[in-house]
Structure 1
Amino acid sequence: MNASLPPAAASPAPSGLDEDAVRRLVHLFYERVHKDAVLGPIFSSRIKDEAWPVHLAKMCDFWSSVLLKSGRYEGRPLPPHLALGSDAGDAQFARWLALFRPTALEVLPPDAAQAAIAHAERMAHSFRLAIGFHNGEDITRATPFR
């Protein structure tokens, strides 16, 4: 049996969360990623300096779609992460979240920051599980990044 569930009702965006806030979040976060000793080399080896504006625009579209339900992002975010291989392990996802959380808290109003962080934590866990499965890792004891 293949019953489909009704779509979840779209909840309104938290107060103070708009396209400008998403843009500030994305740009400050990736500025920090770019300078980070762990994540910077991973991103720099795959995204050349001249391609950063395109990547940032894509990430703004992605986070706008996630947080504001704008529908602007058209793509599949998992395949590029699968291609990272060992550069997408627990340490890298934990570091990504360690940069994302304070950036969200700094840039966004409290409710919006908590919503963004919750989405980021779920995505990091989901991506990590998918990557581990793809790589043949034992993911039975994987715990969410919190």
Structure 2
Amino acid sequence: MAPPFPPAEPEAGLDEAAVRRLVHLFYARVQKDALLGPVFGGRIADGAWPVHLQKMCDFWSSVLLKSGRYEGRPLPPHLALGADAGEAHFARWLALFRPTALEVLPPAAAQQAIAHAERMAHSFRLAIAFHNGEDTTRIVPFA
């Protein structure tokens, strides 16, 4: 029996090439960023960036295109960041991600990607605080 509603078609202009542009431009900006660059650079060797970028392409392809390519657990590496995964880091990550998505993706897809990134950042902040034994009741989503 067919599902009652067919899967939504991706927005025109949203394809694997657009996802690749988003990921590569965003992480190029991250690498140059004064706050985030050292965090990522300290954990991803120069020669390992292609592997990381492919993993992030798989992740965002799964999120935006429902490709199912990403197989992983994104939270554990973030839990290991300690003080390098604080409020300022997540705020800066979103401050770089939002304009990059708006620049690279079609409008509705950009808003979808931004909304997902904001939910993910909030979820990670809660999980990290809980993992560290902190009070999570005062953590509010980024606006």
> Is 68-77 or 13-22 further displaced after alignment?
13-22
In structure 1, how many angstroms separate the alpha carbons of the residues matched to 2:115 and 2:56? Answer: 17
Q: Deviation of residue 138 (structure 1)?
A: 1.1
In structure 2, how many angstroms separate the alpha carbons of the residues matched to 1:16 and 1:143? Answer: 33
Q: CA RMSD in A?
A: 1.1
1:6 is aligned to: none
Matched, 1:134 2:134: no
1:55 is aligned to: 52
Normalized against structure 1, the TM-score is what?
A: 0.91
In structure 2, how many angstroms separate the alpha carbons of the residues matched to 1:120 and 1:143? Answer: 15
In structure 2, how many angstroms separate the alpha carbons of the residues matched to 1:17 and 1:128? Answer: 29
Q: How has the CA–CA distance of structure 1 residues 115 and 43 changed in structure 2, closer, same or farther, with 3 Å as cutoff?
A: same
8 Å contact from structure 1 (residues 104, 113) kept in 2: yes
Residue in structure 2 matching 1:46, options 43, 47, 56: 43
2:79 is aligned to: 82
1:29 is aligned to: 26
Unmatched 5+ stretches in structure 1 = 1-8
SS state of the match for residue 42, structure 2?
helix
Count, aligned residues: 138
8 Å contact from structure 1 (residues 132, 139) kept in 2: yes
Normalized against structure 2, the TM-score is what?
A: 0.93
**Structure 2 counterpart of 1:106, one-letter code:** E
Q: Which runs of 4+ in 1 moved over 2 A?
A: 9-15
In structure 1, how many angstroms separate the alpha carbons of the residues matched to 2:8 and 2:78? Answer: 28
1:96 is aligned to: 93
In structure 2, how many angstroms separate the alpha carbons of the residues matched to 1:106 and 1:100? Answer: 10
Residue in structure 2 matching 1:67, options 64, 67, 82: 64
8 Å contact from structure 1 (residues 29, 103) kept in 2: yes
In structure 1, how many angstroms separate the alpha carbons of the residues matched to 2:134 and 2:59? Answer: 28
